[in-house]
Amino acid sequence: MQVPEFTCLCPKTGQPDFATLFIDYVPDRLCVELKSLKLYIWSFRGEGRFHEAVTNEILDALVKATAPRFMRLTARFYVRGGIFTTVVAEHRKKGWKAPQRVELGALEEEASTDTGEH
């Protein structure tokens, strides 16, 4: 999921901070409901939070609500004072191991050169 309109406030200056959030996850029994996610993300608009703290707070809340096998939150904050900030936080369920990554581009390339003989 990509959330391009995340905002919170700098706790020191009160100036707005803007970020795009990227949420990658492997659900277990529950999944993120998008309307609820949107409302939760909006709740930070008037809140003063440091980038690292808010990223971890959001990840912790999503993990608590959904108990996923894996979840990664990447928060890419826009420039402020000449500095871009990217914060990455991850959760892995105990004992969960990622399956081998499938590269779809490689499969498409293979299919286009396939002779049809198997």
Catalytic residues: 10, 17
Rounded to the nearest angstrom, the gap between the alpha carbon of residue 49 and the centroid of all alpha carbons in its chain is 17
In what helix (H) or strand (E) does residue 115 lie, and over which residues does it extend? none
Whether 60 contacts 99, CB under 8 Å: no
d(CA 20, CA 75): 6
Three-class DSSP labels, 11-31: CCCCCEEEEEEEEEEECCCCC
